[in-house]
């Protein structure tokens, strides 16, 4: 992709919002209710990102991944998250300012998350009240979760843009694979749940260390001054 992006799609958890502690607290409460060992908060960095079903699978011990336990753990997890989802979750420093700067440039901004649609909606409304995201999409039964590119491509169509005109910004291999599969510009953020090696290893074209670092990627460079006549 050589053109300056004309729109951006953002992952939510680990990119716009630090949701890790609320997810970990909910998961550990579910495990405790099942009489199973809990995990350190940092362990959840590798558990999240592919949706609720995968989170439940990863947090359970291998010997406890039978169908009945998976269902029970999933129900417990969502019950706990229902009352914890905004206890410790906050936007990362600089995110709100970055979004306002992008909005001032007239760029359409979207969210694409593997969090269930209902929680994606309420989370965005709670932490970015009134912010005019063009589209906010979470996990829905009729659309495959990331890294399948279907959700990203659907947003491209709704925006009326070619995929190559869109930057996809996220913190994990899941997001970089989604961007690549959709033919979008993969931008990896270094403040989220995963590290630079995972992002570059899965196709990130740019890595940014702070939200403000995104702005130079979407602002056209100034035209070079005309050459002076040296004659």
Dist. CA 221–CA 153, nearest whole Å: 27
Judgement on whether residues 48 and 101 belong to the same structural domain of the protein: no
Residue 1 belongs to a domain: no
Domain boundary among 58, 84, 110: 84
Residue 2 belongs to a domain: no
90, two tokens: 């906050």
pLDDT tens for 131-172 read 999 999 999 999 999 999 999 999 999 999 999 999 999 999
Judgement on whether residues 122 and 193 belong to the same structural domain of the protein: yes
Range of the domain at 118: 7-17+89-218
pLDDT tens for 14-47 read 999 999 999 999 999 999 999 999 999 999 999 9
Residue 98 belongs to a domain: yes
pLDDT tens for 72-95 read 999 999 999 999 999 999 999 999
Judgement on whether residues 74 and 117 belong to the same structural domain of the protein: no
Judgement on whether residues 64 and 105 belong to the same structural domain of the protein: no
Q: Looking at residue 226, what is its pLDDT?
A: 55
Q: How confident is the model at residue 231 (pLDDT cuts 50, 70, 90)?
A: very low
The pLDDT of 100-111, averaged and rounded, is 96
Strands 206-208 and 109-116, how do they pair? unpaired
Judgement on whether residues 58 and 141 belong to the same structural domain of the protein: no
Q: What percent of the chain has pLDDT over 70?
A: 94
Tell me which residue of 62, 166, 200, 53 sits closest to 114, measured CA to CA.
53
Residue ranges in the chain assigned as alpha helix (H): 20-33, 52-59, 67-84, 95-104, 117-127, 150-159, 173-182, 196-201, 215-218
Judgement on whether residues 98 and 78 belong to the same structural domain of the protein: no
pLDDT at 96 over 60: yes
Dist. CA 64–CA 175, nearest whole Å: 29
Domain boundary among 84, 105, 131: 84
Domain at 169, CATH number: 3.40.50.1000
Judgement on whether residues 52 and 75 belong to the same structural domain of the protein: yes
Judgement on whether residues 45 and 142 belong to the same structural domain of the protein: no
Residue 225 belongs to a domain: no
Domain at 72, CATH number: 1.10.150.240
Q: Looking at residue 22, what is its pLDDT?
A: 96
Asked, as a colleague might, if the bond just before 95 is cis with ω within 30 of 0, I would say: no
Residue 229 belongs to a domain: no
Q: Looking at residue 15, what is its pLDDT?
A: 98
More confident residue, 1 or 60: 60
Residue 224 belongs to a domain: no
- What average pLDDT is seen over the chain? 93
Q: Looking at residue 219, what is its pLDDT?
A: 84
Q: How confident is the model at residue 51 (pLDDT cuts 50, 70, 90)?
A: confident
Q: If you ran DSSP here, which 8-state letter would residue 43 be given?
A: G
129, two tokens: 């009240």
Q: Looking at residue 1, what is its pLDDT?
A: 43
Number of structural domains the chain divides into: 2
Residue 126 belongs to a domain: yes
Judgement on whether residues 58 and 159 belong to the same structural domain of the protein: no
Find the largest Cα–Cα distance for the chain.
85
The pLDDT of 189-216, averaged and rounded, is 96
Q: Looking at residue 50, what is its pLDDT?
A: 86
Tell me which residue of 189, 218, 192, 217 sits closest to 204, measured CA to CA.
189
211, two tokens: 């939200």
Residue 144 belongs to a domain: yes
CA angle 221, 192, 48 (to 5 degrees): 135
Judgement on whether residues 191 and 113 belong to the same structural domain of the protein: yes
Judgement on whether residues 106 and 210 belong to the same structural domain of the protein: yes
Domain boundary among 84, 106, 131: 84
The pLDDT of 116-131, averaged and rounded, is 96
Judgement on whether residues 12 and 24 belong to the same structural domain of the protein: no
């Amino acid at each position: 992709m050589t053109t300056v992006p004309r729109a951006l799609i953002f992952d939510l958890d680990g990119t716009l919002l630090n949701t890790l502690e609320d997810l970990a607290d909910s998961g550990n409460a579910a495990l405790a209710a099942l009489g199973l060992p809990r995990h350190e908060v940092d362990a959840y960095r590798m558990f999240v990102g592919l949706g609720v079903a995968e989170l439940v699978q990863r947090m359970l011990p291998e010997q406890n991944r039978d169908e009945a336990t998976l269902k029970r753990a999933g129900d417990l997890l969502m019950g706990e998250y229902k009352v914890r989802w905004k206890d410790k979750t906050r936007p990362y420093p600089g995110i709100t300012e970055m979004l306002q700067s992008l909005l001032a440039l007239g760029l359409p901004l979207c969210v694409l998350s593997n969090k269930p649609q209902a929680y994606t909606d309420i989370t965005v409304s709670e932490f970015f009240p009134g912010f005019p995201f063009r589209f906010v999409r979470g996990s829905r039964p009729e659309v495959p979760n990331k890294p399948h590119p279907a959700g990203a491509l659907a947003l491209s169509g709704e925006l009326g843009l070619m995929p190559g005109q869109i930057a996809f910004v996220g913190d994990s291999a899941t997001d970089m694979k989604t961007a690549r599969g959709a033919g979008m510009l993969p931008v990896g953020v270094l403040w989220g749940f995963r590290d630079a090696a995972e992002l570059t290893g899965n196709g990130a074209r740019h890595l940014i260390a702070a939200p403000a670092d995104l702005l130079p990627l979407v602002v056209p460079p100034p035209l070079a001054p005309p050459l002076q006549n040296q004659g």
